[in-house]
């Protein structure tokens, strides 16, 4: 996991041969490097590289196919100086002189939650409840493993269009969970809690609950609860559509409490009345 500056927005204009060129460039500079030669050969023997999928502040991601069984994978190219802590990777990695290539799972027939919501305007409470519960379970698993994601937003949640299963992605801003306050922010500014904006610190769980509240609002309302670049005042009154059930409105308001001590814990969110009667895919 990386502890670094806030990731930049995705840029799809770069050449799709970037990964190939990066490998070839490294190879020409380090022709006598046996380790590099073996790494490059292993990559070519196991995977067929495809097109660029996207690029963010922590690296570029390319489509690929595992030759042994035809499984779709994603290969992420990350500069070595952006990686400070290592956890377990899903499939494997290849180390180059200046970069690390991470081979990751690439689910097909999926859509990120941002586009999933936008295509529908907003989600019914039933659909939102199922997806939100799965996101909560993913966040709960992360925290139980001592990991703080720090960039929970619809763009980082993948929805399987066939099964309705949701997955939490992109741990580039993740760090180790700690009891003390964090004084460094990594993530998307529009999902940062008000205590960070005003005081320059935040605690892991309350900040996570704040971002989850924004995600839930986006699910059932179709939009971010706060306008872009808007400074959230401490007396801000959140306006919610009357069509939402009282239970749904209550959960959103609790998660978006201005005071971090007034936000519910993850366990309390799970136990909230709106989260009951879940029918998972």
Sheet holding 47-56, edge to edge: 47-56, 59-66, 72-79, 99-105, 92-95
Residue in 33, 99, 151, 260 annotated catalytic:
151
Please name which of 53, 55, 58 lies closest in space to residue 10, comparing C-alpha atoms.
55
The upper half-sphere exposure of residue 26, i.e. CA atoms within 13 Å in the direction of its Cβ, equals 24
> Rounded to whole angstroms, how far apart are CA atoms 58 and 8?
8
Query: C-alpha distances in angstroms, 135 versus 171, 232, 255, 266, 274?
Result: 14, 25, 15, 11, 15
Place of tokens 């500056």: 5
Please name which of 244, 248, 256 lies closest in space to residue 272, comparing C-alpha atoms.
248
Q: Please say whether the beta carbons of 165 and 137 come within 8 A.
A: no
> Rounded to whole angstroms, how far apart are CA atoms 89 and 74?
12
Catalytic status, residue 229: no
Q: Please say whether the beta carbons of 250 and 274 come within 8 A.
A: yes
Point out the residues that are catalytic. Answer: 151
């Amino acid at each position: 996991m990386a502890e670094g500056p806030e990731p930049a927005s995705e840029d799809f204009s770069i050449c799709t041969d970037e990964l190939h060129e990066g490998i070839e460039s490294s190879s020409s500079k380090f022709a006598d490097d046996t380790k590099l030669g073996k790494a490059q050969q292993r990559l070519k023997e196991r995977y067929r590289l495809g097109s660029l999928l996207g690029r963010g502040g922590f690296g570029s991601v390319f489509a690929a196919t595992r030759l042994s069984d035809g499984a779709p994978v994603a290969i992420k190219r990350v500069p070595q100086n952006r990686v400070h802590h290592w956890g377990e990777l899903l499939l494997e990695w290849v180390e180059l002189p200046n970069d690390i290539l991470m081979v990751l799972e690439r689910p097909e027939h999926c859509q990120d939650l941002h586009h999933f919501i936008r295509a529908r305007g907003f989600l019914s409470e039933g659909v939102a409840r199922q997806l939100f519960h799965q996101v909560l379970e993913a966040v709960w698993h992360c925290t139980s493993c001592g990991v703080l994601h720090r960039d929970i937003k619809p763009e980082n949640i993948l929805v399987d269009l066939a099964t309705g299963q949701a997955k939490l992605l992109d741990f580039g801003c993740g760090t180790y969970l700690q009891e003390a306050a964090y004084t460094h922010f990594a993530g998307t500014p529009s999902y940062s809690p008000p205590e960070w904006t005003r005081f320059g610190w935040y605690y892991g769980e309350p900040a996570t609950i704040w971002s989850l509240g924004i995600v839930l609002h986006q699910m059932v309302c179709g939009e971010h609860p706060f306008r872009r670049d808007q400074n959230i005042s401490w007396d801000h009154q959140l306006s919610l559509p009357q069509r939402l059930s009282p239970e749904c409105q209550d959960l959103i308001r609790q998660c978006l409490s201005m005071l971090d001590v007034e936000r519910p814990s993850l366990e309390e969110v799970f136990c909230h009345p709106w989260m009951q009667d879940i029918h998972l895919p």
